[in-house]
Amino acid sequence: MIAGIDHFVLTVRSVEATCDFYGRVLGMRRLDEPNRPTALLFGPQKINLHEVGRTFEPKARTPTPGSGDFCLVAAVPLAEVQASLEAHGVAIEVGPVERIGARGPLMSVYFRDPDDNLVEVSEYRLT
């Protein structure tokens, strides 16, 4: 019944700080459209951003900054992601470590964004 994920929403303290972080560190592109939430674009997906006090309807029952925990698949080797994190002063909390993703084995690094969401970036391993 379900083919994939189109987008998800993060509730954030500051849209500006979030866009700056994801743009600088992970190369996401910002999209602003009238009467729509600001979005971060990557590959064929996006993250919609709801700023505390400026959310859109409908929304989660109790939207809270820092409650996100998600995995993104890298479009470049994981070593390049690690280098970008290091260059931007972002501490890796865990990794690289082996994990099992939706499509099989992968290597992952974990770090925090400006709202303390746990972000996992992974690279699928060749089998």
21-74 pLDDT per residue, tens: 999 999 999 999 999 999 999 999 999 999 998 877 788 888 899 999 999 999
Residue 85 has a pLDDT of 97
Q: What is the pTM of this model?
A: 0.92
- With a cut of 70, say whether residue 127 has pLDDT above it: no
- Of residues 37 and 127, more confidently modeled: 37
Mean pLDDT of the chain: 93
Residue 60 has a pLDDT of 83
Give the 3-state DSSP-derived string for 17-82, with helices as H, strands as E and coil as C. Answer: HHHHHHHHHHCCEEECCCCCCEEEEECCEEEEEEECCECCCCCCCCCCCCCCEEEEECCCCHHHHH
Residue 33 has a pLDDT of 95
Active site residues: 120
Domains of the chain: 7-124 (3.10.180.10)
